[in-house]
Amino acid sequence: MSSKRAAIGLSIALVAVSGLAVWSFVSKTMGEIHAVLTDSRAQVLDEMRESALASTNAVEVATTLRGAERWYHSPFPPSGGIELSHYNLMERIRTSVSRDLVRHLRSLTGEDLGDDPARWVTKYARP
């Protein structure tokens, strides 16, 4: 009877250790996936910024600004963990791109509609 209990205990321990190993692998893999997605999304925003800053057409810049404001923006951020870190990073990048494009629009148009991208988009972007 004692060896039977030992076998059951060993089986339970093996299942628990296996479960922890699977959880660790999945957690690490998901973190790597989020990192790759964040990097590719950041590249898209950088390309938007470069394209708009090279343009002398306020309509094109404002239209790109609207796209940047919408890109990977969610009013519902993740509750925590690596997803929240990546969300916060993307928000900082998106905000930086928007700020640069508003500054460029100010320079192109000679107007100052403020820092709110929506005002620039409303006035200059294509519908």
**Helices and strands per DSSP (H, E), number in the chain:** 4, 0
For the stretch 42-66, pLDDT in tens is 999 999 999 999 999 999 999 999 9
| Gap between the Cα atoms of 5 and 100, Å rounded | 68
pLDDT band at 25 (very low <50, low <70, confident <90, very high): low
The helix/strand/coil state of 113 is coil
Which residues have C-beta within 8 Å of that of residue 66, sequence separation ≥ 6? 117, 121, 125
pLDDT at residue 24 greater than cutoff 60: yes
Distance of alpha carbon 69 from the chain centroid: 12
Render pLDDT for 75-97 as a digit per residue (tens, 0 to 9): 667 777 778 888 888 899 999 99
